[in-house]
Structure 1
Amino acid sequence: MRILVVTPWYPTVAQPTAGVFVQRDAQLIATHHDVEIVHLVEPQLLTEQDRVVDADSEVPVHRIPFDRNSPGTYRPAWRRLHPLIEQADLVHTHALPAIAAFTSRRIGRPWVHSEHWSAVTSRASFNLRGRIFVMFLSRLLRRPDVVTVVSSFLLEHVGRLRRGTTMIVPSAVPAAVVSAAEHSADRLRLVAVANLVDGKDPLLAIDTIRELRRRGVPAELRWVGDGPLRGRVQGAIADDPSIRLVGTLDRAGVSAELKRAEIFFLPTRRETLCLSAIEAISHGRPVVMGAVGGQRDYVGPDNGVLVEESSATAYADAIIRLSEDFERMSAESVAATVADRFTPETVLRGYEEAYRAASARRREDDRR
């Protein structure tokens, strides 16, 4: 089957880690189908170097400049997108902003949409204009034949917006080599893997490390990732040697950071799924993180602690409690809690089911 994957999130030379999970899923689907990618890319992110890189891509990539906040880009984007849709057997969109390009347009193909965007569950972080726009886009979730979501948390919210078939298909997480963590009394090694943005609350992470050290716990934190809060975070940690910003790393680099850590720590305010936490667990590292979101699907007493209260005191309490439980939590037992749940095979089965359901729905509609 010829599948056209349309997404606003995909790696570029300027942002090599953006949408890497969409890339991973597209490559997975391409093992069973003919797949082409349409990246609805923000114009300022597109460079000539991307075209050079795309020429060697194992899955064909079409970069179409598109700014969801600029209506002037909608029609030109559709003119390039429409012929590609005509050549496809099925359209698979990712993330709500992609649907903006389909506004008032007839697709004429079975349509599966996969939702990951946190804005679907919380509009509070946007200004008034942004909230209105997200509200408008959310109504468009009624249009696809099938919508997949990555967690039960997202399923609950999307289920309020549409009556059609909606199912959970999580993102795939690469297999990890599980190794025992090294524990010592002279330091407690924590790691966070996330962008430096408000929603991940790196400033609260800093406060938590200092609260731990105030209590006599020799905690250290290495934060993997970058983002708009980097300047503020650097100013907040100053010369504090217990907290280090590592920057953006590739998959091997992230894996190495997870292996050297004892606990994955992320005081996130809200998550649709949080792949980095799943990757940590698959490496055998227990997690301490915020309680709101899709992480409730897989974090429990055998692999971590979810913290309801957003305070340094509450997070420090949870980290100490978890560290006192290390003897019970071997790396193997922690990793076993997510075994087979996020494998490529599991995800591919979910997508195949969604494709069959969308195709059946389209045939039914065509007979009417």
Structure 2
Amino acid sequence: MKILMITPWYPDKESPNSGAFIRSQAETLSKDHDVVVIAAKVNYRKFGLYTYHHETSQYGKVTEHRLTIYKSLPVYNQLNAWFIMLRYSRKVAREFKPDVIHASIGYPGAYWGYLLKRYTGAPYILQEHTRVKNNFRSYFHRQLTLAGLRKADALVAVGTRLGTELKSLLHRDINVIPNVVEVERYRYDHRPQTTVMQIGFLGGMNTPVKGLDILLQAIAGIQKDFVLHIGGTGSKEEEYKAQAEQLGIASKCKFYGFIPYNDIPQWMEQLHFFVCSSRYETFCVALVEAMASGVPVVSTCCGGPEDFVNEGNGLLVENENIAALREGIRHMMQTHQQYNPQAIAIYASDNFSRQSFLTRIEKLYHEVIERAKR
């Protein structure tokens, strides 16, 4: 089968972890299929009326096209980006002749997929990884997103709650297929040899969505010795460091900054448990990466984690509730040794491995291809 994947999120030199889970999907599919990826984004730091840069690379058996479009004039900028993106992707599609188009992210993925379907005749699915309303940055964005979602041959959400949101908005069936997590990269038989609690947090810091401010407030009220390992970077990183100072826990917080994707397995091995304090998640890859390492977790009820955090691998606490999160962390400090690392890792492997994803997505591909032939 020939699969054309189109996405605005994908790893590149500037953002090596961005959309890493989409690259994992592409690599997984390439084991048995021909896969071409087109990743397109606008570079808002460079100006050009009709200027773009493109490069082609090979990642294993996956052919990758990265298209970077320079920003232009207001209003015209969006039209310019669409024109360049479609002209380039039509050229790739004409040469590749896909059997199915796998689009990601409602904007621009949904309508982009629809237009390529009109050109190639191949059916398209849209896999949503973020809240639908995050695509509604203007009337223009909203209308194109909704039109593309309604016209998709199938819709996929990475979590049940996100699927419910899509269904209530579009009144059509939604397939729930979780992200691929490369569980084989992680080992569960290594634990920190210290009585000082080693707690992990991993997430972007450009917005307050990951809730690090909530975690810092919660953990400041815990007297027991601990080290909070904080991975990730963004525009709010200095603000969080200042908050840790103000709360008197700076000496207990270790800020790592950006952690390369390949270094995450080793980073996880130093933890007794991992915390997700997010205000909202559609999935939460970091939680599953912790589980693949055999590490129990504490998570807020923020959307995605409710699908897979259970009594065998961790605790769920009320969302945006500092006291509840603090109590959950205290409880995990006392009980983390009662969890079975191997069982946690097996659960992650059974539900989020490459094969688990492949079985589900291939079935959906065949369904939309068969319907298109009728």
TM range (shorter): 0.7 to 0.9
For the Cα contact (< 8 Å) 2:277–2:300, is it kept in 1? yes
Say whether residues 1:190 and 2:199 are aligned partners.
yes
Task: Look up the SS of the partner of 1:222 in the other structure.
Answer: strand
Superposed counterparts of 1:259-298, under 5 Å: 259-298=269-308
Secondary structure, aligned partner of 2:280: coil
Q: For each residue in 1:317-343, what CA deviation from the matched residue of structure 2 results, as whole angstroms up to 9, or x when unmatched?
A: 001112222242121233233331111
Query: CA–CA distance in 1 between the matches of 2:137 and 2:180?
Result: 34
- Give 1:130 deviation, angstroms: 4.3
Q: Deviations over 1:193-214 (max 9, x none)?
A: 11113100112222122111xx
Match in the other structure for 2:127:
114
Q: Does 1:78 align with 2:86?
A: yes
The corresponding residue for 1:6 is: 6
Give the aligned partner of residue 316 of structure 1. Answer: 326
Map of 2:57 onto structure 1: 55
Distance 2:64 2:105 in 1: 17
Aligned to 2:338: 328
Are the equivalent residues in 1 in contact too, given 2:9–2:19 (CA < 8 A)?
yes
Aligned length: 353
Distance, in Å, in 2 between the alignment partners of 1:164 and 1:313 is 39
Contact 1:179/1:331, CA 8 A, preserved across alignment = yes
**C-alpha contact 2:192 2:269 (8 A) present in aligned 1:** no
Q: Could you tell me which residue of structure 1 aligns to residue 175 of structure 2?
A: 167
Aligned partner of 1:140 in structure 2 is 148
Paired letter, 2:226? A
- In structure 1, the residue matched to 2:350 is 340
Q: TM-score, normalised by structure 2?
A: 0.86
Measure, in 2, the Cα distance between the counterparts of 1:50 and 1:234: 37
| 1:331–1:89 Cα change, 3 Å | same
User: How far apart in 1 are the matches of 2:367 and 2:158?
Assistant: 18
Q: Unaligned stretches of 5+ in structure 2?
A: none
Structure 1's 184 and 134: CA in aligned 2 closer, same or farther, altered over 3 A? farther
Q: Residue 64 in 1 paired to residue 37 in 2?
A: no
SS of the residue corresponding to residue 112 of structure 1 reads strand
Distance 1:134 1:305, change over 3 A: farther
The alpha carbon displacement at 1:4 in A equals: 0.9
Shift of 1:19: 0.6
Q: What is aligned with 1:22? A: 22
1:82 CA drift (Å)? 1.9
2:158 equivalent in structure 1: 150
SS at match of 2:15: coil
Give the deviation of 1:62 after TM superposition: 1.8
- Answer yes or no: is the 8 Å Cα contact 2:180–2:354 preserved in 1: yes
CA RMSD after TM alignment: 2.7
Choose which of 179, 191, 213 in structure 1 pairs with 2:189: 179
Letter in 1 for 2:239: R
Q: Distance in 1 between matches of 2:54 and 2:242?
A: 34
Give the drift of 1:296: 0.7
Deviations 1:296-354 (A, max 9, x none): 11101121111114233221100111222224212123323333111101101111111
Q: State the distance in 2 between where 1:219 and 1:288 align.
A: 15
SS at the partner of 2:291?
Answer: helix
In the alignment, is residue 32 of structure 1 matched against residue 32 of structure 2? yes
Specify every segment of 5 or more residues in structure 1 that has no aligned partner in the other structure, as ranges.
Answer: none
Residues 242 and 226 from structure 1, CA distance in 2 versus in 1: closer, same or farther, beyond 3 angstroms? same
Q: In the superposition, relative to structure 1, how do residues 285 and 131 fare at CA in structure 2: closer, same or farther (>3 Å)?
A: farther
